[in-house]
Amino acid sequence: MSKTLSKNERLKSQKQIELLFLKGSAITKFPFKLIYLPNLNPEDFHTKAGFVVPKKNFKSAVKRNRIKRLLREAYRRNKAFYFNNIEGKYALMILYLGRDVPSFEVVENGTKQLLVSFLEKISHEKN
RNA sequence: GCUGCAGGCCACCUUAUCGCUCGAUCCCGAACCUAGUUCUGGAUGGGGAGGAAAGUCCGGACACUAUAGUGCAGCAUAGCGGGUAACACCCGUCUCCGCCAUUGGCGGACGGACAAGUGCAACAGAAAGUAUGUACAGUUCGGCUGUAGUGAAAUCAGGUAAACUCUAUGCAGUGAAACGCCAUGUAUACCAGUGUUUGAGGGUUGCACGCCCGAAUUGGAGGGUAGGCGGUUAGAGGUUUUGGGUAACCAAAACCCUAGAUAAAUGAUAAGGCUCGACAGAAUCCGGCUUAUGGCCUGCUUUUAUU
């Protein structure tokens, strides 16, 4: 798994996103939240991820953009390390629930914690 | 130096690594109707947010419709002339107002009509429209006429339309989630109501008339789709020069190509520098207006200090 994050690895279909919010399981490590669901779409070969910052918390489009970029960057840098030996594929959605613009360090640590507990949880579910 | 005004410019920078997005060229592989096209992956080398991208307040382009008619209502605009695709914008100018000052300069204006009607109005005054009191004089003996008195104005009208109103001009609606094409799926099924030229039900900004469409339509229960391509970025486009014009702007020539995403592209890390970086993120595209906001430069100006 490389460090790239191209269109194929981003969650784009509105249908999948609706399904994810409807039926997905959640892990919260405030101010970060991960929603996940096994991706059963046979046309997808990758685990897909999407990123959300609520408009309610950040009215400024510039700030929302900034946080989404940080989330995306943190996921891109760490997904290879954590997902190298994963089985199956998932649809993921990472949300930022805080009310202040975080630093990259905070976002990266939060993302790592989320991914660790995500891996623990899915291995536990399998056993 | 400082105060205010007007105009112009910039929007942290440099290097390295990793990453995103869109074209170009090339390579590997796959499919097909095989000199090609499409798709997956990769390499090289490029482009990649704003002056306001914002508010969505005006004006257009463009697209669609069952052709958009008349009257009333409604909304907008308002000296005059010009510019423009168009405007509520811009330029010039007149008038009025304010400030500086005094042949002038700068700024502002919500600038049509009170020669149709209705309304409103401080003080003074008997009275400002449901008029006509007092004193004196005249007299056709009728509150009929004049004078005095208040006031800008007294059967004579004046002011006011950021008062109703009137006049002139303009306004079809919807809005890129428009719209066109392709693909996929389904049920021309079931139940109930209304209806088929004796017209159900619709459309036409609000209302009325008129006009037009019209064989289906409304509800229930149930099933399904919501993917792609075009529209989409070369344009009322920029820059420079020349000519016309007081100016806004126009014309000609040469040169340039400058985002195009679609859960939505500009980021992260490291090092260095300085003045330590404000407001803020394109979503069909243009012209304006308004609001938010850091800094630099130029000109004029107020005031203070020094020479």
Q: pLDDT class for A93, splitting at 50, 70, 90?
A: confident
**Which nucleotides of chain B have an atom under 7 angstroms from any protein CB?**
18-22, 41-42, 49, 53, 226-227, 262-269, 280-282
Contact A92, A49 (CB under 8 A): yes
Structural domain tally of chain A?
1
Average the pLDDT over each of A2-6, A51-55, A79-83, A114-118 and give the range with the smallest value: A2-6
Predicted complex: ipTM over 0.90: no
CATH number, domain containing residue A97: 3.30.230.10
| Domain-embedded: residue A48 | yes
| Domain-embedded: residue A18 | yes
| Domain-embedded: residue A1 | no
> Which residues, in sequence order, are CB contacts of A33 under 8 Å at separation 6+?
A26, A27, A94, A95, A96, A97
H-helix segments, A24-103: 61-83
| Domain-embedded: residue A15 | yes
| Domain-embedded: residue A2 | no
- Could you tell me which of A110, A2, A10 has the C-alpha nearest to residue A50? A10
Q: Which residue range is the domain that position A26 belongs to?
A: 7-126
Distance A89 CA to B210 C1' (A): 67
Model confidence over A36-89: pLDDT tens digits? 877 655 555 667 778 888 877 888 888 888 888 888 888 888 877 777 666 667
Closest nucleotide (CA of A21 to C1')?
A: B263
